[in-house]
Structure 1
Amino acid sequence: MTYLDLNTPQRTIMTPGPVEVDPRVLRAMSTPILGQFDPAFTAIMNEVMEMLRKVFKTRNQWAFPVDGTSRSGIEALLCSVIEPGDKVFIPIFGRFGYLLTEICERYGAEVHTIECPWGQVFNQQTIIDEMKKIKPKVAALVHGETSTGCMQPIDQIGPACREEDVLLIVDAVASIGGVDIRVDEWMIDAIVGGTQKCLSVPAGMAPITYNHRIEKVIAARKKVERGISTDDDRKNELSRTHPIVKSNYLDVGMLQDYWGPRRLNHHTEATSMLYALREGLRIILEEGLEERFIRHKEHEEALIAGIEAMGLTLYGDRSVKLATVTCIAIPNGVDPESVRAMLLDEFGIEIAKSFGPLEGKIWRIGTMGYSCRKENILFVLGALEAVLIRHGVAVKTGKALQAALDVYATQKKQSKTVVP
């Protein structure tokens, strides 16, 4: 069999991840390979750590990527902190709260959860009150929930956790680089992001950062591991109460040694992916964090205006909407997968369905990173209107694009009136 050259179709990716990769990132990935201990490469590693600190808004010593998709970073942080029998508290308001629960249970945690209806989030005081009742070792929660398009406020939870000596671990995969996150100010102990969403880098790395409170737990577990290595009886005794991290690849203590000044060999670094992450972070910092957050909000505003002008309805509580994901209630009598298929086949546009109780009820449009551009917003609105008309939906013809253009015109006028 003869295999042809790879020739992927051109797509406009408007899902909540993966998203379109910035062309600058793709060019960076073609940079020649360096050895992982080459001084030129370790200098790149140091630059990535420095830029991650700025994006996470932290002064933490440790800020580096875990090689693997977003889930690898989530699991690395959890499995490196949790020991069998530890209490973990997880507020669930969408699909990925269940993922946190599953990971923690796999590592032997005693998991306590609370849930609210999908499309809503918790009042922060509800989380704080429940946390105080449970008295867990760890509170783990999702910041931006892509399955529902909602964002959980967390600025009050970190200080409350600190008062109760609870470690706060946050999944910010869908929000980092797209909305404001203040790791130090909000007293987040550990947080994980993803490359394939607002950072506009291919999937394959999970940036994490954590503070001295997490590092203390990691150091204690490493001490147990080293201290019992020559005494089998003592090893068996301690392993029952102080087990070492079960995962080798995702052991943050070992990754810390690899990324730290000792450069202890742990794995072969994903060289081209690190080039990609470096360029993605460089693009973000060149744009400016605050400017980037404003850009995501402005395009979200135009998209929402177009959707509603078309006669469609948004799903979820607007007051806690995640700026990078917009969920649309599917009109009655419409085959949702037929609409998605026609968007892809006729226009080369991909939007997403949802999961669990929302499957078949909403479409999700991601406006993240490089995909969050004016031409993409206008394209997806025009195409969606055309496809819905072909499916017999009584949309308000011609209104969507005009409403979005009105928003852009107003934004442009307002930006000209701002004093530099």
Structure 2
Amino acid sequence: MSTLCRMRRNMSFTWKSLQKFSLEPTRPLTTTRQIRVLDNNVGKMTSISPPPECLFKPMNFPHKVLMGPGPSNCPPRVLGANALPLLGHMHPEFLLIMDEVKAGIKYIFQTNNEWTVCVSGSGHAAMETACLNLLEPGDTALVGINGFWGERFADMVDRQGIDVKTMYRPMGEVFTFDEIEEALKKHKPTLLFLTHGESSGSTLQPLEGVGTLCHKYNCLLLVDSVAACGGVPMFMDKWEIDALYTGSQKVLSSPPGASPISFSDRAKEKVKKRVTRVRSFNFDMNHLANYWGCDGDVRRYHHTSPISTIYAIREGLARLAEQGLEESWKVHKQCAELLQEGLEKIGLELLVKNKSSRNPCVTAVKVPDGVDWKAVTEYAMKTYRVEISGGLGALVGKVWRIGVMGYNCTPDNVSLVLRALDEGLKTAGYSKL
């Protein structure tokens, strides 16, 4: 039996078998009076406050169907992996799991890059890793802003004191090839940032040919695919993308906290030839690449990895591998079209007019005039425990955002969110007639 098969068998736990790993029952709080202890440092009695009563009660975590732009619900196998016993972060068994995660990332990115790792943290951590490693004083970053995430990256660059140039499109629109080339000619940047799946505007930025264009102007291409990768086609090497990252909590349907990122040879060389040190020790790819076994050297301790989260993303990657990328892309497209057709039947207007620019993973739909957007989302949550999110940035109060990703990407979930939204609109007094 292969190592991979043995690991999969070992992870096939039922909820009952996992209960033995649960915490002991909480004990009732018996006193609220202050406790007096001897403070050896000052040689006198001192008082400490009692523990908070809330910690003696069970957590409240009702099951909800997360149909917003993320996180997605986790399948049982991912939740089960997250509950497995801990290993040490330098144990050979855990390093093997890290290697399997690395192989899974290369698969979903369609890359052979050596520098492929999982950053400890949410998608923001991966974004900042790319920013801190690929840019240094004297560089210029060109940031495509057509939503919230371009704005966020521009802010990160500015905080480093690095020159930021921007190109803009309204939320719900994407950049054309000609617009990108014109901006590259004008600003001569070191790095171009584009958001592949812009969850705030629900767009899908075309990327084919952009990497080649960037290299023509001696520029690196950095892509944020947090809200798209795994649910839409991605060919990192073929499209000549120099740095790409995603999140664990979207299509991979794993808990947030481990974010895949990959650097091309060009990007790796840029990091290696820096004049200044990477300003963050935690996000320095020189160290991360070693810890993840990417440099051929003996692995050295860098930080304590989020072990349980790595277990979980490993199973999220395994689940996607078993489904197959092409099948995943097809299912996400089908469910997105089912959702969008249903929204139009209710009488709602989609934000993105051009069908080819729509992100199958996140759909933004306009809030009708006179409708309280929040009242509708509260109805969906109260009645069906279904999450429908509001807008971000300039679209706050103007759109709802519905995510159909990973484990949640099913026709039944699409029907559920449509029913919840339709009833919520009627309750708010809206009629398409």
Q: TM-score range by the shorter chain?
A: 0.7 to 0.9
Q: TM-score, normalised by structure 1?
A: 0.87
What is the CA distance between 1:9 and its match in structure 2?
1.0
1:258 paired to 2:291 = yes
Percent identity among equivalent residues?
Answer: 38
Of 316, 335, 342 in structure 2, the residue corresponding to residue 299 of structure 1 is 335
Q: For the Cα contact (< 8 Å) 2:88–2:94, is it kept in 1?
A: yes
Q: What secondary structure is seen at the aligned counterpart in 2 of 1:88? A: strand
Deviations 1:4-49 (A, max 9, x none): 2223111011001111112110011111111112111111111111
Q: For the Cα contact (< 8 Å) 1:385–1:395, is it kept in 2?
A: no
1:54 paired to 2:107 = yes
Question: 2: distance between equivalents of 1:73 and 1:187?
Answer: 19
Q: What secondary structure is seen at the aligned counterpart in 2 of 1:364? A: strand
- Of residues 30-39 and 276-285 in structure 1, the stretch that sits farther from structure 2 once superposed is 30-39
Matches within 5 A, 1:181-196: 181-196=234-249
What are structure 1's unaligned runs of at least 5 residues?
222-241, 397-420
Deviations 1:343-374 (A, max 9, x none): 11121011110122211111010001111112
Q: What secondary structure is seen at the aligned counterpart in 2 of 1:314? A: coil
Equivalent position amino acid for 2:208 in 1:
D
Question: 2: distance between equivalents of 1:70 and 1:330?
Answer: 28
What is the CA distance between 1:101 and its match in structure 2?
0.4
Number of the residue aligned with 2:371: 334
Q: For the Cα contact (< 8 Å) 1:49–1:62, is it kept in 2?
A: no
Number of the residue aligned with 1:231: none
1:67 paired to 2:120 = yes
Q: What secondary structure is seen at the aligned counterpart in 1 of 2:194? A: strand
Equivalent position amino acid for 1:120 in 2:
E
What is the CA distance between 1:151 and its match in structure 2?
1.0
State the superposition RMSD in angstroms: 1.2
Number of the residue aligned with 1:369: 406
Q: For the Cα contact (< 8 Å) 1:80–1:253, is it kept in 2?
A: no
1:271 paired to 2:307 = yes
Q: For the Cα contact (< 8 Å) 1:315–1:327, is it kept in 2?
A: yes
Question: 2: distance between equivalents of 1:258 and 1:109?
Answer: 28
Deviations 1:108-162 (A, max 9, x none): 2111101011211111221022112211111111111000101111111100112
Number of the residue aligned with 2:207: 154
Q: For the Cα contact (< 8 Å) 1:143–1:152, is it kept in 2?
A: yes
Of 353, 372, 380 in structure 2, the residue corresponding to residue 343 of structure 1 is 380
Equivalent position amino acid for 2:321 in 1:
L
Q: What secondary structure is seen at the aligned counterpart in 2 of 1:331? A: coil
Question: 2: distance between equivalents of 1:217 and 1:265?
Answer: 24
Matches within 5 A, 1:308-327: 308-319=344-355, 320-327=357-364
Equivalent position amino acid for 2:251 in 1:
C
What is the CA distance between 1:220 and its match in structure 2?
2.2
What is the CA distance between 1:91 and its match in structure 2?
1.4
Matches within 5 A, 1:134-283: 134-221=187-274, 242-260=275-293, 261-283=297-319
Larger relative helix fraction: 1
Equivalent position amino acid for 1:301 in 2:
E
Equivalent position amino acid for 1:256 in 2:
A
Q: What secondary structure is seen at the aligned counterpart in 1 of 2:287? A: helix
Equivalent position amino acid for 2:285 in 1:
V
Equivalent position amino acid for 2:226 in 1:
V
Question: 1: distance between equivalents of 2:264 and 2:298?
Answer: 19
Q: What secondary structure is seen at the aligned counterpart in 1 of 2:390? A: coil
1:386 paired to 2:386 = no
Q: For the Cα contact (< 8 Å) 2:375–2:424, is it kept in 1?
A: no
Q: For the Cα contact (< 8 Å) 1:194–1:205, is it kept in 2?
A: yes
Q: For the Cα contact (< 8 Å) 1:388–1:395, is it kept in 2?
A: no
1:131 paired to 2:176 = no
Question: 2: distance between equivalents of 1:321 and 1:345?
Answer: 29
Matches within 5 A, 1:398-409: none
Q: For the Cα contact (< 8 Å) 1:312–1:329, is it kept in 2?
A: yes
Q: TM-score, normalised by structure 2?
A: 0.85
Question: 2: distance between equivalents of 1:217 and 1:315?
Answer: 38
Question: 1: distance between equivalents of 2:432 and 2:420?
Answer: 12
Equivalent position amino acid for 2:339 in 1:
L
Of 277, 290, 298 in structure 1, the residue corresponding to residue 326 of structure 2 is 290
Number of the residue aligned with 2:172: 119
Number of the residue aligned with 1:238: none
Q: Matched residue pairs, number? A: 376
What are structure 2's unaligned runs of at least 5 residues?
1-52
Question: 2: distance between equivalents of 1:191 and 1:366?
Answer: 21
Number of the residue aligned with 2:13: none
Q: Which has the higher contact order (CA 8 A, sep 6+)?
A: 1
Q: What secondary structure is seen at the aligned counterpart in 2 of 1:286? A: helix
Question: 2: distance between equivalents of 1:123 and 1:259?
Answer: 37
Number of the residue aligned with 1:38: 91
Q: Which has the larger radius of gyration?
A: 2
Question: 1: distance between equivalents of 2:91 and 2:60?
Answer: 34
Q: What secondary structure is seen at the aligned counterpart in 2 of 1:209? A: strand
Of 18, 23, 30 in structure 1, the residue corresponding to residue 71 of structure 2 is 18
Question: 1: distance between equivalents of 2:182 and 2:375?
Answer: 45
